[in-house]
Amino acid sequence: MTLARETFHQQISQNKRRSILLMAVVVVIFAVLAWFIGFALAGDPANAVFFVPIGGIIALVVALGAFYGGDSMILGVSRAREVSETEESQLVNVVRELSLAANLPEPKVYVIEDSALNAFATGRDPEHASVAVTRGLLDRLDREELQGVIGHELAHVANYDIRFSLLVGVLVGSIALMADILARMTFWGSMSRGRSSGRGGGGAQVFILFLGLLVAILAPLFARLVQMAVNRQREYLADATSVELTRNPYGLERALAKLATDTEKLEGANKATQHLYFVNPVKKLEHNARGLFSTHPAIVDRINRLRKLSGQPEIDESGLGSIAGRN
């Protein structure tokens, strides 16, 4: 591939560094949450310290589990089913030919039996990658459009977006769960310490517990920001790489337009996995795609980037329908 080769390799290096940094940050967050949980249980800062290594160990176990088994978890949550060439010959052939063009190992191929239009790639590296598409995508996209979508997903495989996105998907959910446990225990502990302070003591303990409650609220928000920080620029890069692989910007352009006009909700998707998909499957967030908390650029912006590559004029959202219906 010749398009932005330097940028592509920079993205690979950045994603590898981000994956290590993300795991380190999660260990720290788990340790802090564990200290506050320990304090809620023991009521003493010194004794709470014993919970810190427990939190760190749990974080490491979760991180390693996400690294080696997170893709199976996400495929399971998404209700994806592995298919063979006999079952889905066109899909498997498209994945195979574009994998060869990108000089990648051929990933496993999955189908999600859902009429919504979407796709995603996952795995820890190109040698352990999987590509999943919905039944709606297969039914409503022609071969050129399907090539555009698969080329985009294989770009995420090649530049290790899949590793970082995989870790984010699992670890964000784990932080939210840990914070929920802390919030419940902090509330229970504050009620108990509050009664004690009313009898002449425990004011400092109540303050620390309320601080723990604040941490329990902020930790998931921080994790959410990390999820949003999965750089939206990567979507533009993957789109451009898909065009280079397929040598056809119009297939991807039409595919994006069709997905933009699709109103069906993808049942197996949720906020923890939304950043993995070709377009945001949470429709109410897709409509606010230029906002701070969006994981994807607006579809019309992605289409206009492609139109710029082929020397076409920009469009607005009113023009999506005409592109979607063009063959």
Average pLDDT over residues 16-40: 80
- Give domain 79-161+237-324's CATH number out of 3.30.1360.120, 2.40.30.10, 3.30.2010.10, 3.40.50.300: 3.30.2010.10
The pLDDT of residue 175: 80
Cβ–Cβ < 8 Å for 30, 215: no
Q: With CA atoms as reference, report the closest residue to 104 among 138, 155, 147, 174.
A: 155
pLDDT tens per residue, range 228-267: 665 567 888 899 899 999 999 999 999 999 998 888 888 8
Q: Would you place residue 201 in the very low, low, confident or very high pLDDT band (cuts 50, 70, 90)?
A: very low
Detail the DSSP E strand segments found in the chain: 80-82, 108-112, 119-123, 129-134
Helix (H, G, I), strand (E, B) or coil at 281: coil
Distances (CA, A) of 197 to 38, 47, 64: 19, 20, 42
Q: Where are the alpha helices (DSSP H) in 43-115?
A: 45-48, 51-77, 89-101
Cβ–Cβ < 8 Å for 193, 206: yes
- Please state the pTM of the whole predicted model: 0.81
What are the structural domain ranges in the chain?
A: 5-76+163-228, 79-161+237-324
Q: Would you place residue 7 in the very low, low, confident or very high pLDDT band (cuts 50, 70, 90)?
A: low
Angle formed by the axes of helices 51-77 and 5-42, nearest 10°: 130
The pLDDT of residue 273: 81
**Torsion angle (degrees, nearest 10) of CA 159, 266, 96, 230:** 0
pLDDT tens per residue, range 90-137: 999 999 999 999 999 999 999 999 999 999 999 999 999 999 999 999
Q: Are strands 129-134 and 108-112 parallel, antiparallel or unpaired?
A: parallel
Residues with catalytic annotation? 153
* Residue 315, token pair as written in the block: 């469009």
What lies within 8 Å, CB to CB, of 117 at 6+ separation is 134, 136, 137, 140, 141, 258, 259, 262, 264
Cβ–Cβ < 8 Å for 51, 156: no
pLDDT at 287 > cutoff 60? no
